[in-house]
Homo-oligomer: A and B are copies of this chain.
C-alpha cells in the first residue's frame, strides 16, 4: 500500500449518537452498567460477601432494578463473569491462527499479551473469583474452562509449542498441560498482585522478562 493510497483511505465519520438510543440498546446499556458495577463489587468483596445493595449502589440504581436484568444474585455473578470473558475468549481464539516465523517470538508475544491484558488489567480478578467460587458454581467453572483454559491448553500456547517442536526449535515435549506450566508464573503473579502486592510488590516488567527468559530457555532444543 502506498502513501497516496493511505491518504485516500478515509474512515467513515463516527457520529456520536447522544440522543435517545433505541429501547433495545438502552436495555443493553443498562445491563452493562449493572455488570460493571457487579464486577467491581465482586472483585472487591467476593461473591458471598457482596450484597445486592452494594451492586445497586455502585451502579447508582435501586436494588429492585438489578432484578429486572438478572433473576438472582447467582445469575448476576454468572452473567457478569461470562460477559467479561467473551472478549478474552474471542481474542484468544484469533491470536493463534497465523503460525509463521519464530516459535520463540510467537510464544513470547503470547505471554506478553497475557501480561498486558490479564495480569496488568482487571481480568486477573476474574481468575481469582473463579478460583475462589468455582467449586460452588459448576457453570462458571465450566464456562471458564471452555472459554479460557481449554483454549489455553489445547489452543493458543499449546499450538505454538507443537509448532516449535515440529520446527525443531523447541525440545520435544509431550505434556497436555504444558500451557499451564508456561503460563503458571503469570497467573500466580496476578494472584500476588491482588493479595500480596502491598506487602511486597512485584515489578511486572522485570518479572515478565525473567519469566519469558526462563520458560523459553526451558523449552528450547539444546
Taking Cβ atoms with an 8 Å cutoff, the residues of A that contact B are 44-49, 128, 130-136, 141-142, 145, 149-150, 153, 171, 173, 175, 177-178, 180-189, 191-192, 194-196, 199-200, 202, 206-207, 209-211, 213-220, 222
Contacts and interface: CB of A to CB of B under 8 A. Distances in A.
Given A178-B210, A180-B188, A195 B134 contact: yes
B49 A136 contact: yes
Contacts of A135: 44, 46, 194-195
Contacts of A199: 141-142, 145
A183 B135 CA distance: 23
Contacts of A153: 200
B171 A217 contact: yes
A136 B47 CA distance: 12
Nearest to A130: B195
A171 to B, nearest CB: 7
A206 to B, nearest CB: 6
A209 to B, nearest CB: 8
28 contacts: A45-B136, A46-B133, A47-B48, A128-B131, A128-B132, A130-B195, A131-B191, A131-B195, A134-B194, A135-B194, A135-B195, A145-B196, A145-B199, A173-B210, A175-B210, A177-B210, A180-B185, A180-B192, A180-B202, A181-B211, A184-B184, A184-B189, A213-B218, A214-B219, A217-B219, A217-B220, A217-B222, A218-B218
